[in-house]
Amino acid sequence: MNDPVQAFKLAMLAALGHAPELIEPGRLQRFATSDKRGDSAGWCKLFVDLRGGVYGCNRAGVSEAWKADRDRPMTRQQRAELARQIGQATAERESEQRQQWAVNAERIKRLWAQCVPLVPGDPVTLYLKRRGFGGVWPLPACLRLHRALPCWNGDEKIGVFPAIVAPLVAPGGRVVSLHRTYLAVDGRKADLPSPKKLTATAGPLAGACIPLHEPQRGVIGIAEGIETALAAWLASGVPTVAAYSAGNLAAWQWPVSVQRLAIFADNDRAGREAADELRARALSAGIGCEVLTPSDDGADWCDVLAQHGAVTIEGTTV
């Protein structure tokens, strides 16, 4: 292909599935790598000489270098220049990312300060009662209520709703995002196209989780969603955290005190693959691990708790 701009764009599309509509050589650009409005996880820079560029996705943790005329050997000078430009673009992107993370961290801090602990009868406890957790008290302390949280669709304010707010905490203890579930005052899920949302992140999500529980006697469990993790905990007695998504479950980093891990997988393709990836990592690190998957296709541990109640996990005691 003779057009390096188009070749660069096609490389991004192949790797990320998305690319800017217009690529401006010499400028670090941000763009969406999902269908969500306001998403700017993608980034790229095509060098001014059109001989190379870099691109990636902060959400997926992808970072790639691209070179035009891949089959043509480069001179030592050309290799040195390409390496210089890659280093410069990488430093520029990392500086921009750090600045944005700092801004997002302040927003997260302000939002969390507006949240209050749960009390029986509030919209959060009513919602969890509807989900089958009515007899559970106290609920994990990391679950909070925001009494009147604005909900936005891009630049349009849809309304103000009570919400469950929970932190995603990185392995070092830093809160990198807040998970929000918008509710009605009677505890029903709010009538919104997307009632569950994450705030903009203040650091990498990979390795983070919603810390519903701490390990006990070296044992911890992990599931995808908050309610699924609560159900797994009640069904098994294993203290369990929530990964937020299948991708984050696969990338989760267990605490250093953990000696045994129970993975409560959703029975769908993404859930099974994520559980297998985490299990492989845990076993290679010498961590005892087992994957527990509901028998019915498409089921999760909320379904297991509703249908069967408590379960026994062999070899896992707390």
Domain identity same for 223 and 318? yes
Q: Do 218 and 262 belong together in one domain? A: yes
What sign for the dihedral angle of Cα 135, 141, 143, 145?
positive
pLDDT tens, per residue, the chain with 318 residues: 579 999 999 999 999 999 999 999 999 999 999 877 677 889 999 999 999 999 999 877 789 999 988 777 878 888 898 899 999 998 998 898 899 999 999 999 999 999 999 999 999 999 999 999 988 999 999 999 999 999 987 778 899 999 999 999 999 999 999 999 999 999 999 999 889 999 999 998 989 999 999 999 999 999 999 999 999 999 999 999 999 999 999 999 999 999 999 999 999 999 999 999 999 999 999 999 999 999 999 999 998 888 876 555 554 544
User: Are 153 and 220 found together in one domain?
Assistant: no
10 and 91 co-located in one domain: yes
DSSP code string of 113-129: HT-EE--TTSHHHHHHI
Distance CA 214, CA 219 (A): 9
Could you tell me if 263 and 298 lie in one domain?
yes
One domain, residues 219 and 316: yes
Residues 163 and 150 in one domain: yes
pLDDT of residue 41: 86
The last residue of one of the domains, among 94, 109, 124, is: 109
CATH of the domain at 303: 3.40.1360.10
- Is the domain of 201 the same as that of 216? no
Residue ending a domain, among 160, 184, 205, is 205
Q: Judge if 234 and 318 occupy the same domain.
A: yes
Same domain? For 100 and 159 the reply is no
Total structural domains within the chain: 3
Domain finish residue from 179, 205, 231: 205
pLDDT at 154: 72
pLDDT at 156: 83
And the tokens for 11? 């490389």
Range of the domain at 142: 115-205
State whether 91 and 26 are in the same domain. Answer: yes
Q: Are residues 103 and 140 in the same domain?
A: no
